[in-house]
A and B are shown apart, each in its own frame.
Chain A
Amino acid sequence: MDRNFLIVSTICFVAAVVHSGIELRAGLFRPMRFNFAAIGLGFVFQTAFLSIRGHALGRCPLTNLFEVFIFLAWSIALIYMVVGPAYRLSLMGAFTAPLVVLLQGFALIAPIDVHHPVKLPSNSWLEFHASVSLVAYGAFALACIAGVMYLVQERQLKTHQLHSIFYHLPPLADLFAVITRLLWWGFALYTIGLVSGFFVGRPLPYIQVVCAVGVWVLYALILQGRHLQHLAPKHVAALSIIGFSAALTLLWGITFTAQTTSLP
């Protein structure tokens, strides 16, 4: 039953992707209303799914890789809905929707929705740690998307080959400001998530802690490099993509090891 909500949500995001594709192909890209509506609707169904699943489990629905992926997709949509209109990044939806479709599509197709044979006990610190960390991942994902947009725009400016998309992407300065803010938000949330992880009441796997701290250090270095102006905007954009890829790999690893050991 709850998966039906997820399927409908995925269809909404697919509609946003298809619409963006058609519009971009025709060179008539005005995605704001349709994309925002489709993503908003998809977000509502995601929320419905997480709510139903949460009630059934009696805790935050982060008990397997499937739920983690959906929660991450939900965080990305949430951050987009906050950031997109605020910074007039209408085209960000065209980049956000495919990422969400990828995450949800994979979660729906792959056999990763493994239910635990026994009901998992509620642990508020663990749930807080996991959910805050995933919202931080959402911010990092959006920074990654803004990074892709920055590199696309920068490349066109450098090569003097300006395609239709050039006129719809925000200025480089605005994109860089958005990347920086998203990285700071993500970093702050990730730090809270990381620290709260030490209060879960049981020892965490050593490798998870090392990797999580590694991601934290990576983002800290990016922000420090940005703050001290040691990194050019283009490098910050590229590193925000690399950082999110590393974080996503780590998330997979953490969830996988948690599933193979015992609790997430």
Chain B
Amino acid sequence: MNLFCVGLSHHTANVETRERFAGHAQSECILRDAGCTEVLLLATCNRVEVYGASEKRVSTEEVAHCLARKIEKDAHQYALPFYRYEGEKCIQHLFRVASGLDSMVVGESEILGQAKKAYESARQSGAVGPYMHRLFQRAFRVAKQVRTHTEITRGSVSVGSVAVDLAQRIFGQLDNCKVLVLGAGETSERTARALASRGVRDLRVSNRSNDRARELAERVGGQAVPFEKWPQQCRGVDILIASTSSEVPLLTPANLAPMLSDRADRPLFVIDIAVPRDVDPTVNEMEGVYLYDIDALRSVADQSLAMRRQQIASAEAIIAEHVADLLEKISGELNRASRMSGHPPVADSSLRV
């Protein structure tokens, strides 16, 4: 039995190429016709991969043809970015993919859900059998173990999610937090939406243009506040998102101090995503105020990413253990199949076209 993976990903192909090979449900049927006894198609925005088990060797070109939405005259065009893993390397690759090690953002967990969905879809269509079942069930187990035993998913890696993460580190539950959004820009909307998705119910939006403030308030389920009244609103809020186009800082220690006078035991989290900045950086030195501007948020995101990368070795060790264990269990069958087909074993994970 040949166990193989043929695919392309953000590592090997640009988005245009990936779109051409995005795959569709029928691909699995076509691949079965091509000689695969079991086949599973994993298609996400960052990768299109076919995992298959076959008695005879199915070439990369055959897989590519099945994946292409329309057969182009020059097959070389789409044959180039494909990689191929077989046997042990195929198992290792799937485990790395499921664990988020092969993702564009290391440690992202969305891929696990996508892999589960792909497996479920293939299972329902009857495209997967005992090999794929064993392989993918083990991959899900490995991914879970990697997430539990390493810090690979720790921290947020985008500006919006870092802001929300920090808010939770300050306030815990966000249900009772009051948020004021100054400025109706795209980034502030994204951040406000992210906060609302984590439980924030009291959202207020203030903008020089009252109409835009109302529009944004409607979109995020908040209420609009006249721009002249934002300093009064500031007294009651826990989180302030500033993203106006003001040329001078709106918030300085001098005008913030009176607002803080009656809230000694409540912290204030200020997210300044405006350029030029809306908040004087010395505000961060004030008691109970935590100011993060766009650079600070990016820096935290970078730190998280660096921390995740440090965990890759630990994750690889877990994966290696499972690869060896799974291989031991199915190696007899794979070796028999390899001997019968007469194909040389794949020695490394380098790309094969």
Interface residues of A (CB under 8 A from B): 26-28, 30, 153, 157-158, 160-162, 164, 166-167, 170-174, 176, 226, 229-234
- Assembled-state Cα–Cα distance A195/B168 (Å): 42
- Assembled-state Cα–Cα distance A28/B263 (Å): 37
B219 at the interface (CB under 8 A from A): no
B292 at the interface (CB under 8 A from A): yes
Against A, the Cβ 8 Å flags (1 = close, 0 = not) of B285-318 are 0011010100010011001100100110010000
Chain B hits for A164, CB < 8 A: 151, 154, 307
Chain B hits for A226, CB < 8 A: 265
Chain B hits for A161, CB < 8 A: 303
Given contacts A28-B151, A171-B170, contact A234 B287 (CB under 8 A): yes
Q: Would B265 and A27 count as touching, CB distance under 8 A?
A: no
- Assembled-state Cα–Cα distance A162/B306 (Å): 12
Chain A hits for B347, CB < 8 A: none
Q: Would A167 and B172 count as touching, CB distance under 8 A?
A: no
**Other 4 A-B pairs with CB < 8 A, given A170-B172, A172-B171, A234-B287:** A26-B314, A27-B307, A161-B303, A162-B155
- Assembled-state Cα–Cα distance A166/B155 (Å): 10
- Assembled-state Cα–Cα distance A116/B276 (Å): 74
Q: Would A174 and B172 count as touching, CB distance under 8 A?
A: yes
B170 is contacted by which of A26, A172, A229, A231 (Cβ under 8 Å)? A172
A257 to chain B, nearest CB (A): 38
Q: Would B169 and A153 count as touching, CB distance under 8 A?
A: yes
- Assembled-state Cα–Cα distance A26/B263 (Å): 39
Chain A hits for B166, CB < 8 A: 157
Chain B hits for A160, CB < 8 A: 292, 296, 299-300
Nearest residue (CB) in A for B290 is: A157
- Assembled-state Cα–Cα distance A234/B264 (Å): 10
Q: Would B296 and A27 count as touching, CB distance under 8 A?
A: no
Q: Would B169 and A157 count as touching, CB distance under 8 A?
A: yes
19 contacts between A and B (CB under 8 A): A28-B150, A28-B151, A30-B149, A153-B169, A157-B169, A157-B170, A158-B284, A160-B299, A162-B300, A164-B151, A164-B154, A166-B169, A171-B168, A172-B170, A173-B170, A229-B263, A231-B265, A233-B288, A234-B288
A87 to chain B, nearest CB (A): 11
Nearest residue (CB) in A for B172 is: A171
Nearest residue (CB) in B for A166 is: B169
Chain A hits for B314, CB < 8 A: 26, 28
B35 at the interface (CB under 8 A from A): no
A233 is contacted by which of B151, B265, B292, B296 (Cβ under 8 Å)? B265
- Assembled-state Cα–Cα distance A257/B239 (Å): 53
Chain A hits for B170, CB < 8 A: 157, 171-173
Given contacts A157-B166, A160-B299, A171-B170, contact A233 B267 (CB under 8 A): yes
- Assembled-state Cα–Cα distance A181/B55 (Å): 67
By Cβ-Cβ distance, the 4 closest A-B pairs, closest first, are A171-B172, A229-B264, A173-B172, A160-B296
B322 to chain A, nearest CB (A): 18
Given contacts A171-B172, A173-B170, contact A28 B300 (CB under 8 A): no
- Assembled-state Cα–Cα distance A173/B269 (Å): 12
Q: Would A176 and B265 count as touching, CB distance under 8 A?
A: yes
Given contacts A171-B171, A174-B172, contact A27 B311 (CB under 8 A): yes
Chain A hits for B171, CB < 8 A: 171-173
- Assembled-state Cα–Cα distance A26/B171 (Å): 28
Chain B hits for A30, CB < 8 A: 148-149
- Assembled-state Cα–Cα distance A229/B266 (Å): 9
A104 to chain B, nearest CB (A): 32
Given contacts A160-B292, A162-B300, A162-B303, contact A171 B169 (CB under 8 A): yes
A143 to chain B, nearest CB (A): 16
Nearest residue (CB) in A for B269 is: A157
Chain A hits for B150, CB < 8 A: 28
A224 to chain B, nearest CB (A): 13
- Assembled-state Cα–Cα distance A230/B170 (Å): 20
B246 to chain A, nearest CB (A): 23
A167 is contacted by which of B155, B267, B288 (Cβ under 8 Å)? B155
- Assembled-state Cα–Cα distance A230/B287 (Å): 12
Interface residues of B in 212-262 (CB under 8 A from A): 262
- Assembled-state Cα–Cα distance A132/B105 (Å): 54
Chain B hits for A167, CB < 8 A: 151, 154-155
- Assembled-state Cα–Cα distance A164/B284 (Å): 22
Q: Would A232 and B288 count as touching, CB distance under 8 A?
A: yes
Interface residues of B in 137-186 (CB under 8 A from A): 148-151, 154-155, 166, 168-172
- Assembled-state Cα–Cα distance A26/B149 (Å): 11
- Assembled-state Cα–Cα distance A154/B202 (Å): 25
Nearest residue (CB) in B for A171 is: B172
- Assembled-state Cα–Cα distance A164/B263 (Å): 30
- Assembled-state Cα–Cα distance A162/B162 (Å): 11
Chain B hits for A230, CB < 8 A: 264
- Assembled-state Cα–Cα distance A27/B153 (Å): 12
- Assembled-state Cα–Cα distance A161/B284 (Å): 14
Against A, the Cβ 8 Å flags (1 = close, 0 = not) of B89-130 are 000000000000000000000000000000000000000000
